[in-house]
Structure 1
Amino acid sequence: MARTIQPQDLIDSTVMDNSGSKIGKVGTVYLADDTHQPEWVTVKTGLFGQKESFVPLSGADMGNDGLHVTVDKDQVSDAPRIDAEGHLSQEESVQLYKHYGLPGPRSGDREDAKHSGRGDGTRDAAMGAAGGAAGGKHMTDKQMTDKQRSGRDAAAAKGGRHDASTSDDMIRSEERLKVGTEEVETGHVRLRKYVVTEEQQVTVPVSHEEVRIEREPITDAKAGRKAEIGEAEQDVVLHAEKPVVQKEAVPVERVRLGTEKVTEEQTVSGEIRKEQIEVDDDTRRGKHS
């Protein structure tokens, strides 16, 4: 590496591959037993960062935009899924070195580390700020409080991850559904008018003239003139009404399109995960009530 990378600088850093593409964010830092320097990091990938893949720090460099590693994104995605539980075994370490095409640690180095009391060939995990209150630096026993020393010793005895800030408690988390709404287009409504023809019947009163013969007897007293025998005729013009049909267009209705918002309730469902905590008290084993 171009310069020494401190564990506290790596936590939550963005990891970029050898082409500059973002892989994810650093989750856990693993230190080498012999040098106590960062050797591996796990990178949170996948949906919501639920998966963690091991990425080697060999040749990596810390820049302003994040951690630049020498492997590509596809290699990280295809890396073996290992649940190291705070330590990498020799077999797991060799498997990862082989996947990334890197030369593995020499067996002699591991034997030297064993005889010098520096570990069993696995890796120490540095979590959080790589040392909690110490800010990632190694503290001597005199600088540590009794509480920090007991937390460190307990983590070393169990071979697990050690974080002084969380040695006395654990946080239980669970997922919750976060439901909202978004407006989407559901269709189009068009207003169009067209012409149809229909038969309509209307009753109209009409009148006409008819000839009626009126007869009135003439008495001698009313004669008034001398009767004459001869021919005569009288012409009467008759009239009648007939229906006349005309068409005219008149406005009868105004039509427009409008929208109104209707609220209804819909039930949504989804799977959520939550953590449960159980107590394994080995002091009660073998006791009879």
Structure 2
Amino acid sequence: MLRLSGITKNYGERRALDGVTFDVAPGRLTGFVGGNGAGKTTTMRIILGLLAPDGGTVTLDRQELTTDDRRRFGYMPEERGLYPKMKVLDHIVYLARLHGFSRADATERATAILDRLGLGERLADNIEALSLGNQQRAQIAAALVHDPEVLILDEPFSGLDPLAVEVVAGVLQDRAAAGASVLFSSHQLDVVERLCDDLVIIAAGEVRTSGSRERLREEHATSRFELTAAKDVGWVREEPGIQVIDFDGGYALFDADDAAAAQRVLQRAVSYGEVTRFAPQQPSLAQIFKEVIR
């Protein structure tokens, strides 16, 4: 378990991070969401030891992080940092060897991860010859080639087309399934919502909310319900305590003043015939994000 506890960071009189606290659990994907300047990159750099916090601690399995611990981490910065004149395979092999692998093992590992990321036909190309999206894939390979126990990825989906997003998402899911702790930031809330087990939302250097995706959805759920039935449900508009948001024949989306009003709708719908769906509408990550950063 990677744990941040009360992390603060000041730049002169400006407080960039204010008591940042959250966990990144093994075997889970944690999405780190916030606007520009919210503190995501600063937090990640503190985890990696690239910046020193002014207060608070970062621990791994309840022990303060050491240099040896961080050698087991994988990091992808938002800014691309590969050598443009090096060949793709040579570059990833070189990075693997820095982690102590023999040339043969490094080559095997680099070839496998590059192939998994869809760069198997570009191994002999220089980095600068790749498109920006493919450079992003190579940057991700650099973070993964040594099988890190903890992955810290700053905007890994930036510049990727939809197919590449799916490829990278699959790789990250595989790493989490193998037991790695994965923290990644992204402005693509739909991707974060689909992938992540846990979420951390930060604004102005403060964590506004964090927890499992399901728990956050439950906490921010509204009294809005969806009803789908075999017969017309136009009668919902006449029910006391109900405000219809959308209606189309056998479908209604409505707000209920209380649980009792919602249950009356369900009971009446069942009395008229088959009900194929009746459930509270779960808020999207975009809705939760807007609510908590206000």
Q: Per the shorter chain, which TM-score range?
A: under 0.3
Structure with higher RCO (Cα < 8 A, 6+ apart): 2
Give the strand-richer structure, 1 or 2. Answer: 2
Which TM-score applies when normalising by structure 2?
0.21
Rg (Cα) greater in structure: 1
Give the helix-richer structure, 1 or 2. Answer: 2
Which TM-score applies when normalising by structure 1?
0.22
